[in-house]
Amino acid sequence: MLTRGHVVIDTEACKGCDLCIDACPPKVLVMTTHTVNARGYRYPLLAPGCTGCKACSQICPDFVFQVYKLAVPVDVSLDELSETGESR
Amino acid sequence: MLTRGHVVIDTEACKGCDLCIDACPPKVLVMTTHTVNARGYRYPLLAPGCTGCKACSQICPDFVFQVYKLAVPVDVSLDELSETGESR
Amino acid sequence: MTSQLMEGSGAIAEAMIAAGCRFFAGYPMTPFTEVLEHMAKRLPVVGGACVNAESELEAIGMAWGAAATGTRAATGSTGQGLSLMQESIAEAAMAHLPLVILNMARAQGDYFQATRGGGHGDYRTPVLAPMDVAEATQLAQLAFHIADTWRNPVVFFGDYYLAHTYQSVDIQPIDFGPVPAKDWALDGSSSGSGRAKLVSPLGDTKQRDNVGYDLSDYYMRAAAKTTAMIEGLDRLVDIGHCDDADLVVVAFGTAGKYVRYAVDQLRAEGHRVGYVRPISLFPFPDAALRDAATGAKLVAVYENNQGQMIDDVRLSLEGAVPVRFIGGLSLDSSGFGIAPDFDVEVLRRRIDAVLTDLGGTP
Amino acid sequence: MTSQLMEGSGAIAEAMIAAGCRFFAGYPMTPFTEVLEHMAKRLPVVGGACVNAESELEAIGMAWGAAATGTRAATGSTGQGLSLMQESIAEAAMAHLPLVILNMARAQGDYFQATRGGGHGDYRTPVLAPMDVAEATQLAQLAFHIADTWRNPVVFFGDYYLAHTYQSVDIQPIDFGPVPAKDWALDGSSSGSGRAKLVSPLGDTKQRDNVGYDLSDYYMRAAAKTTAMIEGLDRLVDIGHCDDADLVVVAFGTAGKYVRYAVDQLRAEGHRVGYVRPISLFPFPDAALRDAATGAKLVAVYENNQGQMIDDVRLSLEGAVPVRFIGGLSLDSSGFGIAPDFDVEVLRRRIDAVLTDLGGTP
Amino acid sequence: MPSSGTERELLLTGIGGQGVQLAAQLVARAAVIDHREVMLFGSYGGMMRGGNTDATVVVAEGPILAPPTVPFAWASIVMHHDYWSFVKERLRPGSLLLVNTTVFRGEIPRDGLHVFDIPATDIAVDAGNIMTASVVMVGALSALTGLVSLDALLEAVPQSLPPYRTKHIELNQAALRAGFGSVARDALPAWDGARC
Amino acid sequence: MPSSGTERELLLTGIGGQGVQLAAQLVARAAVIDHREVMLFGSYGGMMRGGNTDATVVVAEGPILAPPTVPFAWASIVMHHDYWSFVKERLRPGSLLLVNTTVFRGEIPRDGLHVFDIPATDIAVDAGNIMTASVVMVGALSALTGLVSLDALLEAVPQSLPPYRTKHIELNQAALRAGFGSVARDALPAWDGARC
Amino acid sequence: MSGLRVKRVEGLRVLSTREAPADARLVDDFTPSLIDVGAHHLCPGCGEPIAMRSVLEIIEELGVINRAIGIFGIGCYTGFSNNLDCEVLQALHGRAPSLATGVKRAKPDTVVFTIQGDGDMVNEGLQEVIHTAARGERVTCIMLNNGVFGETGGHITATTVLGQRTKNTLEGRDGREHGYPIRLSNMLADLEGVAFVGRCAVNSAGNVARTRKMIQRAFEAQLNDEGFSFVEILTMCPTGWFIETQEAPEYLTDKLAATHTLGVVKDIAAR
Amino acid sequence: MSGLRVKRVEGLRVLSTREAPADARLVDDFTPSLIDVGAHHLCPGCGEPIAMRSVLEIIEELGVINRAIGIFGIGCYTGFSNNLDCEVLQALHGRAPSLATGVKRAKPDTVVFTIQGDGDMVNEGLQEVIHTAARGERVTCIMLNNGVFGETGGHITATTVLGQRTKNTLEGRDGREHGYPIRLSNMLADLEGVAFVGRCAVNSAGNVARTRKMIQRAFEAQLNDEGFSFVEILTMCPTGWFIETQEAPEYLTDKLAATHTLGVVKDIAAR
Ligand SMILES: Cc1ncc(C[n+]2csc(CCOP(=O)(O)OP(=O)(O)O)c2C)c(N)n1
Ligand SMILES: Cc1ncc(C[n+]2csc(CCOP(=O)(O)OP(=O)(O)O)c2C)c(N)n1
Ligand code: SF4
Ligand code: SF4
Ligand code: SF4
Ligand code: SF4
Ligand code: SF4
Ligand code: SF4
Ligand SMILES: [Mg+2]
Ligand SMILES: [Mg+2]
C-alpha cells in the first residue's frame, strides 16, 4: 500500500463513535473489536495506506487525531514487515 | 341630481378627520367650514346625489353614518327646493 | 386503585390529571421536563391537550388561553423559565385566571420570587411546597382547588428530588368540596348577546355606557380580592415535637423532610428540639409558627439558599424568639441536583451546634 | 454649567451620560419612554450607542452585551417590561455584570420585585429610589458607581412623577472615587493568548485542566460576593424631625417627598412627628430606621401599594416599636399616573388620625 | 434638613387649545433665567381636543421641598370654568386668583382671595392670536407679582417653542407684553426685596 | 405525627453498564408487589460511560419518613470499588454489605459489618449476561434477608424493562434466580414475622 | 316617497341628515351589531376602528357570532375591545397568538381571532405569531399595521418603512443604523401550516371592501380546518406619522404600501 | 525517512499510532490552537464539536483571533465554551443575538459570533435572531441544528422534521398536532440587511470542508461590513435521535437535510 501520510491517535480520548471509520477515504482506519480504552470505548487502528488527507481529524468529535504527511511516500505492506520493523 | 340614497349623520360623534369626504364616490359630502360640534370638530354635510354606496360608513373611524337606499330614486336639485320642502 | 411505583414527576402529572387538569403546556427544563413528557403522553388519552410550547413565554400564554375557557390548566418550569413567566403570572393574577404553575426549582432560592411575586404590582399567588412525592400528589390537586376557588394563579413549589424520586403512591381524586361556578369562562356563546364576556387584566366588565376601562376601580377591586384571598386561605403547616422544645427548626419542601427526619432522631435521643414545616409558603403559617415557638429559646431556619424564608420567620415572631440561620446555598456541580447539604448528618451537626450553644440538652 | 429646566426623564438621561453611560437600549413604555427618546437623541452625539430594541428581552440582552465589554450600559422599562427582564437581571447578577436598570414604575407595587429580586435564585440588586428630579440626577450617577464597584446590576427605582416633572437642574459629573479596573471586560484581545476571558453566569474561569464548569464552586463564590456587597454598601436614608417624635412616618421615592412635606408642616404646627425616607431600598437602612424610631410610640408606613416596604420596616424594628400601615394602592384611571392619594392633604389626614390615636399632640 | 426659602406655588387650569402648558413652561423657564429654582408638573387629558389641562409650577429661592402636586397654591390662573373646582379647593385665604373673564362662566368666591378679572382671550385676540390667552395671563401675573420678570419671560419664549414653531415667537412675546400692560404693577409682590 | 414501622435502607453503587439502576428498580417494584411502601432515588453521572451510578432504596411497612438520600443504610450492594467510599461512610455497625468480588479491588472493613462476598459478575456471565451482575446481587439479597421476595422480584422484571427490551426478561429472571441460589437463606431477615 | 328635507348650513343648502327618509331601507347602520358602543378614545382619522369594524361585520355575516372569541394585544385598539359585543380575552403585549392557541386547543369549536398591532406582533411578540403559524393552529391572526407604536406616541417598529421619521428615529429610519422593515406576511406565507395570508388596507372604500374579502377568506380557512390564517391590515395613524388626517390615506399608499405591498400573499385553496 | 512501526492489535498487524514518524510534517493537530482542552462531556458521535472546530479554525485562518468574541447559547455545546482559548460571553437560552448586538455596537472593531442550537435559536430565541438579522447587525450567527433539544434528552424543537420521534412526540412529529418545521435559513435570507446565509452539515469530510467555506464567507461578510451573516450547520445527535452513532451521518442526510436542504441560501456578493 502506498502510504503518504500517518496519524497519531490519542486512543484514550476516543469515544468509539465510528465517524472516522466511514470518513477515511482509503478506509485505512479500523475499529478495535475486543480492546477498549480506560473509559470502555473501542477505538481506531491504522492500516497502511493513509494519505494524510485530514478527513479523520476534521470529523472526529473528540480531537483524537494528529495528521502527518510523510516527507516521502512509502509502500507499506504489513505482511512484509517485522513487528518492530521500520518501513524500508 | 339623481339621488338614490341618503345618510343619517351623528354629527356629535364626528372627529372631523375628512376621511369620508374623499371616500364618497359622487363627492356629495362636504365638511363644515365654520360650524363645529361640542368637542370642537368640523363634520360632514350631505349634498344631493348620494347613491347609498356605504363608502362613507365603511371608512368612517367613528361610526358616524347610517346609510339608506331610497325606495325610489329622486332627482333632487337644491335650487328648486324650498327650505322645508318635500322633494317633488 | 392500588399503590404504584411512580417517579415524582409522573406522580405529579397523574395527580394533576386526577384533579381534572385537561390542558398543559411547557418547555423542557430539568427537572420540570419529565412532568411535561408525562403530560404529553397522558393528556391526549384522557381527552385533554398538551402543547410542547416553543418557549416558557408561549407556554404560559397557552395555559392562560386555556384557563380562560374554564379548563383546568397548568404550566411550569424551573429557575430561568419561571423568571420569564413573571410578567404573565403577575397579569394572570390581575385577570383573575385560575392557573396552576409548577416551579420545579433547582434549589430553594426562588422562595422570594414565589411568595412575594417576582412580577410587577400588588398581586400575590398562593404557594404550596410538598416535602415528598406522596404529599405532592395531594398538593398538586389542592392547587387546582385553590386556583378555582380564588380565581388566582397558584404556585406549586417542587424540586429536583421531588421530580426524580420514585415512590409507591396511590393517586385518587381528592374532593376538596365545591368551587364557584365558572360563569366568567369564555366559549364564544355570549358573543352577540349584548352581554359578551371579558377576561382581562384591565377590567372584567364591558363599559356599555362609557368608553375605555376604569383601571383605578378595577385595580382597587383586584387588591381587595387579593386581601380576601390571603385572609381566606388555610395556612398549612406540619409541626412536630414543639411543645417543650428549646429549639425549633423551620424548613420547607424537601429540606423540611430532612429536618423532620433529623429532629425525630434527635428527639429519640432526648434532645428538646422540634420542627415547623410550612406547607403553604404563602400565606405563611405565621400564627402557628409563633405558637409553636412560644417557650423556645431559639428558632433555627434551614433553607437551601442564602436566607429568604427567614424573613417570614422573623416577621412571624417579631422579636419574640431569637432567630438563627443554619441553612445556606449548596449545589451539586451538575446544577440539577439540589444540595450536598441535603444530608441528615450535616443537618444534625448544625442543629447539634445550636443545641450546644443553648446549653446542651439532654 | 448653569441650571437648566429639564423634564425628569431627560435629566435622568443626561445624568447617566454625565456618569459615562455610553450604551443604552430600551423599548417604549410610559413613563420610561422619554428616557429612551432622550438617549436615542443624545448618545450618538457623545460617541455612544442607543438601540431601539424590539422588546424588553432584547433590550436587556443588548445592554448585557455592551456591559460585558466594559462599557457603562443601562436599560430599563416599566411594570410588565421589568417583569420580562427578571430572568436576565437574575443571571446578569450571577455573571457579575455592572448594569444599570431603570424601573420607571407606574406605582410602588414593584418594591418586592426590586428588593427581593423578581428572578430566580439568590442574587440581589442594590436599589436606589430618588424622591425628585434633583436627587435622581445624583442617584442615576451613583448607580453606575455601585454597579462598577460591585460588578452587579443596580436598579434605579423611579416613577411617573419623576419622569414627567420639569425641574431646574445643574447636572455635573459626580466623582464618587475610583472603581476597580475592568480587567475582566471583553474586547477579543485575550483570545488566542492562552488566557482567554470568560464572562458567564456559569463561571468566570476557563477550566484549563478540567472539563466543564464547576457550578457549585462558582455559585458559592457568587453568594459570598453578594454577601460582601450587602455588607459593604452604604445604606442611604433621609431622616427628619425624629429626635423626640412620637410618630415616625416611613415612605420612599415620590411618596417620600410628599410625606416629608406633610411632616414638615405638621412639625411647624407643633406635632411630634418625624419621617424616615429610605433612599437605598436595598440594602435597607434598617439600623438607621431603628435608631430613628427608638422612643417613638408608633411607626407608620406610607407606600403606594398594598404593603411591601412595611415588611422591611418590621424586620428593622423586630417588634421594638409597633408598625401601622397608612398607605394603599391608589391609581389614576389612565394607568400612567400614580395616585390620587399622592396628595399632601390626604396624607396629613392619615397622619393626623394616627396622631389622634396616639393621644393627640400638641 | 434643607430649609428652603420662600416657595411660590402657581396653579394653571384650562381646556385644550388655550395654551396652558406653554404658559406654564414660560413661567418655569423664566424662573430659571431669573436664577430661581423651579419645578413644573403638567398633565393633560390625552388625545381628544377640549379635554382638561392643568399644571403646577413652584418657584423658589432655594431647593424646592414641595412635591409635584401641591396641596395649596399661592396663586392661580383660571382660563375656563370647566375643571376649576380642582383649583378652588387648593386656594388659601390670601391666594391670588387670575380669572379669564372672557370665557369664565360661574361664580368666583371673592372673600379672602385676591381676585383679578382679566379678559385674557379678548386681549389675546387683540394681540393677534386667540391661542395665546394663557400667555397673556402670565404677562399679567408678572406685572402684578414679579414672580418672574417680563424680560425673563420674553427670553423664555424661543426656548419653549419647538423648532417648527419659531414663527410664533413674536406672537407670544406680544401676548406677554399685552398681558403685562393690562394690569397694575407690583400689586402683590411675590418676593421680599427686589432680586429681579 | 405519623410514626412509621421499620424502614430498611438499601444503597447500591457501581459504574455504568453494571445494571445498578435496573436492580434498584426491581427492588422498588418488588416491594410494591409485596405491599410495602417504597422510595427510590437514583443518580447517575450523565452521558459518558464508565461514570458512577448509585441509588438509594427505602422499603418500609408504613409511610416513609426517610428523605431521598439517607444518612445510614441498613444494607448495601457494592458493585465496584470506584465510588464505594460514599457507601462506606453510611454503613452502621450491623449493616449488611454485599460485595461483587469478581470486580471489587481493595480492602473491605469487616468489623461490625455483615459482609457477604458474592462473585456477582461471574455468576451473571454464567447466567447468560455480564450486564446483569447487579440483578444477581438483588437475588442474593432477597435470599439473605427477604427484604423483597423472589416472586415479587421475578414479577417486577417485565414492569421494569422498557417495551423494546422485553427479550431481556428471562435473562434477568435467570440472574435473579442465580443470585438467590448463590447464598444461604434468611441469614439476616429484614422483617419481623414473615409477611412474605 | 322619499322625504328628503333641505336645510341651510354655513350658507350651503344641504340635505337634512338628522333622520332617515320614511320609505328608505337601511343598508348600513352606524356600527355593526357586534359593537356595543361606537364612541372610543382613538384619534381622529385612525384606521384601526375601520379595520375592527370590518372584522366584526364578517363574523356576523359568517354566522359564527356565538362561538367567536377575540384576543386582543396591547396597542391603541386595546381600549376599543371594551366596546364590543364579542367575547374578549385580553392578552399581554405580544402574547395573543399563544393565548389563541390555548383557547382553540381547549375549545376546538370556538372561532378564535387575534387583533394585534405591528408593534405587538412584529416587535414584542414576533416569535409567538411565527410559532403559531408554523404549528398551523386553526386560528386567525389579524395585524393592524400602521408602522409605528401608536399608543406610545409614534415610535419605530419592526415594520416602519425606511426614511420614516419617528420619535426615536428623528432623522428618519436609516437601514444601516436602525435596520430594515420586516414584511411579516411574506415571512408567514413561507411556512407550511399556513393556509391563507393577505395584506390589505383601510385607506379607501375600495380597499376596505378588499379587506373584508380577505378577512372572510381567513375565517373560512379556520372554519374549514385548513390551517393558520392571517390578515395584515395597513391602517392610518396620522398622530404617529405626524401628519394631517386628510393626508394619511395617501401617505399609506405611498409609504407603507410601497414596502408592504397589498394583495393575497398565499391561499392554499387557490392552488 | 518515514519511521512507520508495525504492531499487533487484536490479531491485526497495524501501524503504531503512538507517535509521529520522524521526518513527517504535521498537517492537522489534535485540536485547533483556539481550543485549550479537547476533552468534553458531549456524547460519542456528537456533531457539535466538529462544527465548533471548524469555526475556530476559520477564525484562526482569517487572522482575527485577537478581536474575536464568541457568544454562546444554552445547549449541549455550552459546556464546551469553557474549553476554548477564545473570549466567551455566555448568554441565556435564546438571547445570544441581542448580546452580540450590544457587544458589536459598543465595540465595533470586534469580530462577534454566536454559537446557538436550534432549540436556542428557533424556539426560545427565534425573534432575537430575526430582529438582529433584520437590523443587519454586523455579527455572524451560527446555528448548530440537530433538530432536537439535545441537552434535555431529545425533545422536539421548531426544526424537528416531520415523522421524527422525540421524547415528547412519541409517535413521531405530526404536522397537524405538533406543527411543521421552520426552515430558519430560508426565513432569514428574505430579510434585507442579511448579507450571507448558508446551510451545511458535518456528517462527512466533504461536508465539513463545505462548512468551513461557508463559515469563512460569513465572517468575511462581517469584516467587509456587508451586513448580517448566518451559517446553519446540521449536526449529528445520536443520543437525541435514539440511534447508533454510526447511523447518524446517514440519518442526517436522509431526514434532516431532506427538509433543511444544504447549500448557500443567500450571498449578496454573488449577485
Ligand atoms: C411588555 C410591554 N412593553 C411595552 C408596553 C408599552 N406599549 C403599549 S402599546 C405599545 C405599542 C403598541 O404598538 P402597536 O402594537 O403597533 O399598536 P398601535 O398602538 O400602533 O395600535 C407599547 C410599546 C407594554 N404595554 N407592555
Ligand atoms: C429559559 C430556559 N429554558 C429552558 C432551558 C433548558 N434547556 C437547556 S438547553 C435546552 C435545549 C437546547 O437545545 P438546542 O439549543 O437545540 O441545543 P442542543 O442541546 O441540541 O445542542 C433547554 C431547553 C434553559 N436553560 N433556559
Ligand atoms: S488522514 Fe485521511 S487517509 Fe489518513 S487515516 Fe485520516 S482519513 Fe484516513
Ligand atoms: S471519530 Fe474520533 S471519537 Fe469517533 S471513533 Fe473515531 S477517533 Fe474515536
Ligand atoms: S353612501 Fe356613498 S354616496 Fe352616499 S354619502 Fe356615503 S359615500 Fe357618499
Ligand atoms: S370620516 Fe367620520 S369622523 Fe371623519 S370626518 Fe367623516 S364623519 Fe367625521
Ligand atoms: S396614535 Fe395612531 S393608531 Fe393610535 S389612536 Fe391615534 S391614530 Fe390611531
Ligand atoms: S445529546 Fe446530542 S447534541 Fe447533546 S452532546 Fe449528545 S449527541 Fe451531542
Ligand atoms: Mg402600530
Ligand atoms: Mg439542538
Residue D356 CB neighbour total at 10 angstroms: 10
Mutate to test the interface with H, among A57, A59, A69, A88 (most CBs of H within 10 A): A59
Listed range (C268-272, D265-269, E81-85, E101-105) with the worst mean pLDDT: E81-85
Residue in the structure block whose three cell numbers are 450553644: C357
Give the pLDDT band of residue E49 (cuts 50, 70, 90).
Answer: very low
When pLDDT is cut at 50, 70 and 90, the band that residue E107 belongs to is confident
- What residue of F is the nearest CA neighbor of A42? F49
pLDDT at A80: 57
Nearest-angstrom CA–CA distance, G214 and G196 = 9
Q: Which band of pLDDT confidence, cut at 50, 70 and 90, is reported for residue A87?
A: very low
Size of interface C-F (CB pairs under 8 A): 67
Q: Please answer whether residues D225 and D98 qualify as being in contact, where contact means their C-beta atoms are separated by less than 8 angstroms.
A: no
Instruction: State mean pLDDT over E19-43.
Output: 93
pLDDT score of E130: 80
Give the pLDDT means over successive 10-residue stretches in chain F (196 positions): 72 83 95 95 59 88 90 93 84 93 86 93 87 94 97 96 82 96 92 62
Bridge partners (DSSP) of residue E100 are: E118
Give the pLDDT band (50/70/90) at residue G2. Answer: low
| C40-54, D30-44, E182-196, H249-263: least confident range | E182-196
The answer, for H209 touching chain D at a CB cutoff of 8 Å, is no
Q: State yes or no: pLDDT of B82 exceeds 90.
A: no
Residues of A in contact with F48 (CB under 8 A): 15, 39
Position C334 scores a pLDDT of 61
Q: State the fold for domain H25-270.
A: Rossmann fold (3.40.50)
Q: Is F97 helix (H, G, I), strand (E, B) or coil?
A: strand
Cβ atoms within 10 A of the Cβ of D176, count? 15
Q: Output the residue whose Cα is nearest ligand 3's atom 1.
A: A52
End-to-end alpha carbon distance in chain B: 13
- Span D113-119, mean pLDDT? 94
Flag whether residue E51 sits within 8 Å of chain B, measured between CB atoms: no
> Is there a contact between G239 and E46 if contact means CB atoms under 8 Å apart?
no
Q: Which residues contact F34 (CB under 8 A, 6 or more apart)?
A: F148, F149, F152, F195, F196
| Distance of alpha carbon B15 from alpha carbon E47, whole angstroms | 11
User: Comparing C-alpha atoms, which of D95, D57, D119 is closest to residue C105?
Assistant: D119
Q: For residue H108, which phi and psi values (nearest 5 degrees)? A: -60, -15
Q: Which residue is closest to C89 within chain D, CA to CA?
A: D83
Going by alpha carbons, the residue nearest to atom 2 of ligand 7 is G237
Nearest to H70 by CA among H93, H42, H54, H90: H90
Q: Cα(F72) to centroid of ligand 1, in Å?
A: 59
Q: Which cell is A75 given?
A: 509502500
Q: Which of B8-17, C212-221, G78-87, G258-267 has the lowest mean pLDDT?
A: C212-221
> Which residue has the CA at smallest separation from atom 1 of ligand 7?
G150
Q: Which chains touch G (3 or more CB pairs under 8 A)?
A: B, C, D, E, H
* Nearest-CB residue to H168 (from C52, C54, C56): C52
Q: Which residues contact F119 (CB under 8 A, 6 or more apart)?
A: F100, F101, F102
C-alpha cell at G59: 363574523
Write a three-state SS string for F21-89: HHHHHHHHHHHHHCCCEEEEEEEECCCCCCCEEEEEEEEECCCCCCCCCCCCEEEEEECCCCCHHHHHC
Q: Which fold has domain D4-169?
A: Rossmann fold (3.40.50)
Residue B86: pLDDT band with limits 50, 70, 90: very low
Domain membership of residue B82 (yes or no) is no
User: With 0-12 CB in 10 A as exposed, 13-18 as middle and 19+ as buried, what is F106?
Assistant: exposed
Domain residue spans of chain D: 4-169, 237-356
pLDDT bracket for residue G227 (50, 70, 90): very high
Backbone angles phi, psi at G21, to 5 degrees: -60, 150
The verdict on the CB of residue B36 being under 6 Å from ligand 6 is no
The answer to whether the CB of C5 falls within 8 A of the CB of F38 is yes
Ligand 5 atom with minimal separation from the G205 CA: 7
The model's pLDDT over H168-212, given as tens digits with 9 standing for 90+, comes to 998 999 999 999 999 999 999 999 999 999 999 999 999 999 999
b/e code D114-123 from CB counts within 10 Å (16+ = b):
bbbbbbbbbb
CB-based burial of residue A72 (10 Å sphere; 0-12 exposed, 13-18 middle, 19+ buried)?
exposed
Please check whether residue E54 is in contact with residue E184, taking contact to mean a CB–CB distance below 8 angstroms: no
Cα separation, C181 vs H74, whole angstroms: 44
DSSP-derived letter for residue E60 is E
> Could you tell me the distance, in angstroms and rounded to a whole number, from the CA of residue H249 to the centre of ligand 2?
23
From residue D182, give the alpha-carbon distance in Å to each of C131, D143, D179: 45, 17, 9
Q: Given this chain, do its domains D4-169 and D237-356 carry the same CATH topology? A: yes
- Nearest-CA neighbor of G154 among C131, A88, D146, D33? D33
C191, pLDDT greater than 50: yes
Supply the CATH classification number for the domain E7-181.
3.40.920.10
pLDDT at residue E1 in the model: 35
Ligand 3 contact via A48 beta carbon (within 6 Å): no
Stretch C337-343: mean pLDDT: 71
The reported pLDDT for the residue numbered B81 is 54
Number of domains in chain A: 1
User: What is the third-level CATH fold of C237-356?
Assistant: Rossmann fold (3.40.50)
Burial bucket for residue C47 (CB in 10 Å: 0-12, 13-18, 19+):
exposed
Q: What is the DSSP letter of H35?
A: B
Q: Does G90 touch chain C (CB under 8 A)?
A: yes
Q: Give a yes or no: residue A88 inside a domain.
A: no
C-alpha cell, F84? 464505594
Alpha-carbon span D257 to D277, nearest angstrom: 8
C-alpha cell at H69: 468574541
Read off the C-alpha cell for C306. 442564602
Task: Give yes or no for residue G204 having a pLDDT over 90.
Answer: yes
pLDDT of residue F17: 67
B86 within a domain of the structure (yes/no): no
**Chains C and A touch each other (3 or more Cβ pairs < 8 A):** no
- Say whether residue G85 is in contact with chain C using an 8 A CB cutoff: yes
Chain E residues 58-87 within an 8 A CB cutoff of chain D: 63-71
* Residue A33 domain-assigned (yes or no): yes
Q: How far is the CA of A57 from the centre of ligand 5 (A)?
A: 77
Which chains have 3+ CB pairs within 8 A of F? A, C, H
- Give the confidence band of G260 by pLDDT, cuts at 50, 70, 90: very high
Kind of pairing between the strands at D23-26 and D73-77: parallel
Give the residue from chain G lying closest to E51, CA to CA.
Answer: G41
Residue B15 in any domain: the answer is yes
**H-chain residues near D186 (CB < 8 A):** 69, 87, 89, 103, 110
Q: Which residues contact H241 (CB under 8 A, 6 or more apart)?
A: H146, H147, H148, H154, H164, H248, H251
CB of H51 within 8 Å of a chain D CB? The answer is no
Cβ within 8 Å, pair H193-G182: no
- For the residues D135-150, what does the mean pLDDT come to? 98
G43 CA from centroid of ligand 7 (Å): 5
Residue H80 with chain F: CB contacts under 8 Å: none
> Which residues does chain D have within 8 Å of residue H101's beta carbon, measured at their own beta carbons?
51, 58, 61-62, 65
Confidence of residue D214 (pLDDT cuts 50, 70, 90): confident
Least confident among D69-78, E77-86, G70-79: E77-86
Q: Given this model, what pLDDT does residue D241 score?
A: 97
Residue spans of the domains in chain E: they are: 7-181
Q: How far apart are CA G238 and CA G45, in angstroms?
A: 7
- Within 10 angstroms of residue F72's Cβ, the number of other Cβ atoms is 15
Residue C75: closest CA among C64, C86, C84, C83: C64
pLDDT of residue E47: 40
Under DSSP, the state recorded for D116 is: I
Backbone angles phi, psi at F160, to 5 degrees: -95, -10
Q: How is residue H262 written as a grid cell?
A: 444544504
**Which pLDDT score, from 0 to 100, does residue D360 have?**
58
What is the dihedral sign for C-alpha D330, D333, D335, D337?
negative
D250 in Cβ contact with D111 (< 8 Å): no
SS (H, E, C) chain C: CCCEEEEHHHHHHHHHHHCCCCEEEECCCCCCHHHHHHHHHHHHHHCCEEEECCCHHHHHHHHHHHHHCCCCEEEEECHHHHHHCHHHHHHHHHCCCCEEEEEEECCCCCHHHHHHHCCCCCCCCCEECCCCHHHHHHHHHHHHHHHHHHCCEEEEEEEHHHHHEEEEECCCCCCCCCCCCCCCCCCCCCCCCCCCCEEECCECCCCCCCCCCCHHHHHHHHHHHHHHHHHHCCCCEEEECCCCCCEEEECCHHHHHHHHHHHHHHHHCCCCEEEEEECEEECCCHHHHHHHHCCCCEEEECCCCCCCHHHHHHHHHCCCCCEEECCCCCCCCCCCCCCCCCCHHHHHHHHHHHHHHHCCCC
Model confidence band, residue C206 (pLDDT cutoffs 50, 70, 90): confident
Closest partner CB to H131 (pick from G126, G135, G175): G126
> Distance from the CA of A22 to the center of ligand 2, in angstroms?
30
Q: Candidates B1, B8, B58, B67: which one to mutate for ligand 5, based on the most atoms within 8 Å of Cβ?
A: B67
Q: Is C54 on the interface with H (CB under 8 A)?
A: yes
Using alpha carbons, list the distances in angstroms from residue G229 to C41, G80, G89, G196, G199: 29, 23, 19, 5, 12
CB of B65 within 8 A of CB of B53?
no
Query: What is the rounded distance in angstroms from the CA atom of residue D321 to the CA atom of residue D299?
Result: 7
Cβ-Cβ contacts under 8 Å between B and G: the total is 172
